[in-house]
Each structure stands twice: as structure tokens, then as C-alpha cells.
Amino acid sequence: MNKYDVIVIGSGPGGYVSAIRCAQLGMKTAIVEKYTSLGGTCLNVGCIPSKALLDSSEHYYNASHTFKTHGIDLTGLKPNLTQMITRKNGVVKDNVDGINFLMKKNKIDVIIGVAGFENSTTVKIKKADGSETSIEGKNIIIATGSKPSVLKGAEPDKKRIITSTEALNLPDIPKHLIIIGGGVLGLELGSVYSRLGAKVTVIEFTDSLIGMMDKSLGKELEKSLKKIGFEFYFKHAVSSAVNNGKEVVVKAKDLKSEKEIEFVGDYCLLSVGRSPYTVGLDLNKAGITSDEKGRVVVNEKLETNVQGIYAIGDVVRGAMLAHKAEEEGVFVAEVIAGQKPHINYLLIPNVVYTWPEVAAVGFTEDELKSQGIKYKTGSFPFKASGRARASMDLDGFVKVYADATSDEILGVHMIGPRAADMIAEAVVAMEFRASAEDIARISHAHPTYTEVFKEACLAATGNRSIHS
């Protein structure tokens, strides 16, 4: 039986990053993946392919809606979904090839098969050909990620009632895409098909979009998405979704009027979150504890109740974000090596890759109020930015919350062009406990989108913004 210092189960962002860091620290490392393609959900059917389609659809939307204003005349323009998906698949392949290279470079043994615990130190692997093998590890890291959650009465058939996985490979552009859930995945994939000409209807149980973020962002995103054809039904509870062959009938109750409404489309995308995935792991054989939501229970070192077994990423508590999993993967590797790493979970940014993009880090206004933290705020709109006006990206704003006494930045919330990249400045600032005054006094290149962050900080320090 092969013996390792570390066995990593799962090759998503958390798993493969953790394996690499373990190898860098001199540990003999193996990674076990049930699919033939490394990279997990994020790389194969999540973050990367969805961004590829978002980018392609944004090019098409701009070509059909803004190029003429820019002085670019086109004739015979039409979307080619097959080519978009072909390009997306190429992007995925290149990234998978990159992960394979990194495994070889770092001398990590890659084992393809379904892993399950035999005991607290031994992992049995069932391979596709029916054979089995076992390996032993001094330390084991569970990084099995998550899967799309299912709504009772609207279970996906992967044909007309689909999850995000199937939405990445549709054979045609939907005429009417019904999305159950107003969260990140649904809005991103809805954006892809709305830009290509689909009617998009979002049915949401709560009263706003992206409920885990500052409410002001959800309201602004709603206004922006309506401009490209989205329609929203808030406070509606879906009771059923039925595939009738060429169409899907979705029934939902209006929670205000108690009336049932029927929606008919050619595809229904179920986007009601994700659930931790531990199927086949046989956690009980290792004595590992999980909670009522199926998450593996871990302590502050991300170690389970069984010494030497750790868990990271979507399979444990916290936000289900690829970069959170990566940070945890490095953290656990360094803990095993005897180092003393740290993660500030408050400063892990959250991003929605619609257009305009949405990004945030730190406390929301509701969180500040609930904790009794006294704060001041400043915001600045992109429509007052010279750079945004030049690029015709006028929707959105940056909002800053700062401590009322110390002026330390407590939260930054932005919706606008390139917010996904801009949020990094806020993360760095908050990591070093910068004040709003600090950012206000730093020179920002002109014209850039980041000037809007500076102006919001100026506004937070006493209504000092220059361009509003």
C-alpha cells in the first residue's frame, strides 16, 4: 500500500492548490479525483466556463447595441452559440492542461477514482474499470466541494429543467428562460442568454436579488438587468416545474396575494444554491462528524473531530467561493507543516460577474446595524466618472462604510464596470486597516474606474467628493 504525508480528496480550487502547497513544503502528496478532468466544478462546469460564455455574450451584446454609437457599422450580425460553446470548451481544456502540468511539476501523484474512507488513515479508491486500490495518509484533506441544490417539485431532468451544468452546454438559445432563484449563478447565466436574445424571467422567494450582499447592490443590479430584458417576480414561492416536451411549466404562488401564477418557457434553470458533497466518502468509517446541512464540521484549524483529517472549501461552513477554498487549502497545508497561517474571513471578497459587475468586501450595512457599530458612509456614482462615460458604462456606484470614530474602512460595496478587479484595492486597504482618509489621499490615475473608489472615500470623510 502506498503511503503519503498528505492525501487530498478532490481536485477543485481548494484541493489542487492545497496539494501544490503541501508539495512545496516537502510533503509526499497524492490527490484523488473521481472525474478524469482535474479542476473540480469551478474549472469544468462553474467559474471558468461561465466567465467564458459571459465574455462571448458581452461581445455580441456590445456589437449589436453599442458599436454603432462607437462608429462601428455591422451587417448580418448573429450569435453563433455552437462556436461560443466550442471556445468555452477550449478555455476549459487549456486550464485543465495547466493543472495537469502543475501536478507533474510538483511531483504530486494523481489517482482517478471515487475515494471513500476505510478508516481514519486509509482511503479506498474505486476506479472506473471496477478495480480498487487503497492508500494511506498521515494527513487527509477533504476537498469534495458542492453540488447544485434541488427544490422539491422542481427537480432537474437535465433536459428542459436544468442546473448550471447543463446551462453551459445548451443546444440552442432559449426563447424564454425561466430562472428559479435570484442568486449569483442564475443571474450570470441569465445574463449570457438575455444578451443573446432570450427572454429571461427570474422567480425569487425573497424580496431582493443577491441577498447575501448589501441591499443597495441588489436594487441597482435589478435596475441594470431590467435594461437588457430581465423580468423579476419577487416574493414568489415555486411549487412545481414540469417538462411537457418542448416547454416547461412553472407554477409559483405570489406570497402577497396568495394567487398561483403559471410561467411557460422552453427552459427552466434551477438556481437555488449549492449543497456540500460527501456522497461515497463513508465519513462514518473514519468517525468524522457532519452537521445538519451535510457540512463537515471543523475547528479553527479546519481540522475535523478526527486528528489528522481536515476539510476545506464548499464542504465546510462559510461562503462557497473558489478563492475562499484556495485560501483554506494553503492554510491547511501550512498548519500541517507546523506553521501559523491565518485567514480573515471578513476580507474574502464576493463577486457577481454580471455586467455591471458586483463586488463587495467587509460588513454590509445590515451587519453593522445588527452589531451596533457606529459608522459613516460615502458613495459615488459611475455616471460622474470620466472613464465610465468614455466607455458608456454609467450604471452603478461605489459605497464605503467607515468607522464613525476611527475612520477605518469597514466595508466596500461596488457595482459597475470592472468591479471584480477593483475590489482588490479595497481588500488590500482593509487588510492593512486603512482609513477612508488614507484612500482619499492616495493618487489614483486619471481617467480610471478606481477614481470612483477614491471619490466614495472622500464622501465618507465629510462630503468631500470633488466630482459630484
Residues 265, 253: Cα–Cα separation, whole Å: 17
| Opening angle at CA 226, ends 225 and 232, nearest 5 | 95
Is residue 330 within 8 A of residue 23, CB to CB? The reply is no
Residues 216, 212: Cα–Cα separation, whole Å: 11
Residues 14, 312: Cα–Cα separation, whole Å: 7
Closest alpha carbon to 219 in 395, 432, 376, 461: 395
Query: Which residues are bridge partners to 412 per DSSP?
Result: 361, 400
Continuous segment of H or E residues that includes residue 368: helix 365-370
Strands 350-352 and 236-243: unpaired
Is residue 25 within 8 A of residue 17, CB to CB? The reply is no
> Is 467 among the catalytic positions?
no
Residues 441, 23: Cα–Cα separation, whole Å: 43
Strands (E), 289-335: 309-311
Cell of 88: 468555452
Cell of 219: 436594487
| Catalytic hit among 59, 65, 70, 446 | 446
Strands (E), 63-206: 109-112, 114-117, 122-126, 132-142, 146-148, 161-162, 176-180, 199-203
Is residue 452 within 8 A of residue 397, CB to CB? The reply is yes
Is residue 350 within 8 A of residue 209, CB to CB? The reply is no
Catalytic site residues? Answer: 446
